A and B are shown apart, each in its own frame.
Chain A
Amino acid sequence: DTEVTQTPKHLVMGMTNKKSLKCEQHMGHRAMYWYKQKAKKPPELMFVYSYEKLSINESVPSRFSPECPNSSLLNLHLHALQPEDSALYLCASSQVPGGDYNEQFFGPGTRLTVL
């Protein structure tokens, strides 16, 4: 199984809502990532989890709250988002964080729209 899954595929939420994005992988990877991607731009790193611990937070606003319940799961909790947070949110995983290869495998993404 070489797949990273993400749910939901699409999400529309108001600025006062609380929602969560979910990501799962069963490749035994010990590093997991959240990215944000705007149209026609490359992915921007948000968070890195290494061995279930948060290792990188790229100065992301606190309205985004990541969680790694176990080595296969990654959540992104959303609260009080702004319309400019509308984007494609991508989850990725790699065997270990960093290293010479650092091949990251991406999920299909969650298209988030904030009204």
Chain B
Amino acid sequence: TQLLEQSPQFLSIQEGENLTVYCNSSSVFSSLQWYRQEPGEGPVLLVTVVTGGEVKKLKRLTFQFGDARKDSSLHITAAQPGDTGLYLCAGGGDSWGKLQFGAGTQVVVTP
């Protein structure tokens, strides 16, 4: 079983600050997805990274896939209260469709 470790588990910051969430594994993933989930709602897909060393930007969010495709990071610049949520990384590539989820990082951005 491929394991994904996410850190930190919880992050509380003030509006305007920056934050980084990490997703690490000892295994290689063919792709990695980042989701954000708000309370009582389903996860929303933010981005998929596929190529080692890839960097993708989504407004104030920057996603990076490690060169060896074993780790990924999510960086938020100038966080806003709307960024509050549970951030989940998930590794794909299983031919059966199984995603391996990290434990999640709860981010709270206060005004």
Q: Which residues of A contact B (CB under 8 A)?
A: 4, 6, 31, 33, 40-43, 45, 48, 50, 55-56, 88, 90, 92, 94, 97-109, 111
Contact = CB atoms under 8 A, between A and B. Distances in A.
Contacts, number: 85
B111 interface: no
A45 B71 CA distance: 22
Interface residues of B, number: 28
Given A56-B98, A98-B94, A101-B31, A42 B104 contact: yes
B45 A101 contact: no
Q: Which of B94, B99, B103, B106 has the most A CB atoms < 10 Å from its CB?
A: B99
B42 A102 contact: no
B44 to A, nearest CB: 7
